[in-house]
Amino acid sequence: MTSPLIAIDSISFTAFCTPEPQGSMKAFIPKGWNRAIITSDNKDLKSYRQEVSKAALEQRAKVGFNDVIFTKHSPVSATFNFYFSKPDSVSRKRTQHVVRPDLSKLIRATEDALTGIIYADDAQIVSIKAEKFYGLPERVEVTVSGKVSEIPQSLFIAQDDF
């Protein structure tokens, strides 16, 4: 008797780096140019996004996808857990990370890093759960779930394997 197959409908991974917030964007037009140059006021944002994107690409390949997992117009839910080191100067009584960076800016930076890799557009996110914690190593743990429209055969596993 063959075991029934079930599809995996989520992807989870961890990017080991210091979570960085999406900063304010600044635009300027150099003299003689006919287009604006847009820069971020957070110099570490680019490397953070690269680390998150790299971890997402590696996990996406592990589960058998060569392209975006959740195609355009597919609703997805996202969970982001951000971990920061706790400075020695912080009281042991403070158990939650209640200082900068802002949670909403961390979410924006992480959503943007996953666009075109896990989902086609971050506008597909219909539900988000996110928290900040103290913990080492510094990292972001990501889970994105939704309905996969085109499922590679490698995403199917036998129910007996659980």
What's the DSSP call for residue 159? G
From residue 136, alpha-carbon distances to 49, 52, 87, 108 in Å are 19, 17, 11, 22
Q: Sketch out the chain's domains with CATH numbers.
A: 5-161 (3.30.1330.70)
Residue with the two structure tokens 């800016």:
105
* pLDDT classification of 31: cutoffs 50, 70, 90: confident
Check: CB of residue 21 under 8 Å from CB of residue 102: yes
Q: Residue 4: its pLDDT value, please?
A: 40
**73 vs 54, residue with greater confidence:** 54
Residue 3 has a CB neighbour count (10 Å cut-off) of: 10
pLDDT, one tens digit per residue, over 40-65 is 667 889 999 999 999 999 999 999 88
* pLDDT classification of 6: cutoffs 50, 70, 90: very low
Q: Residue 75: its pLDDT value, please?
A: 95
Q: Residue 160: its pLDDT value, please?
A: 55
What's the DSSP call for residue 119? B
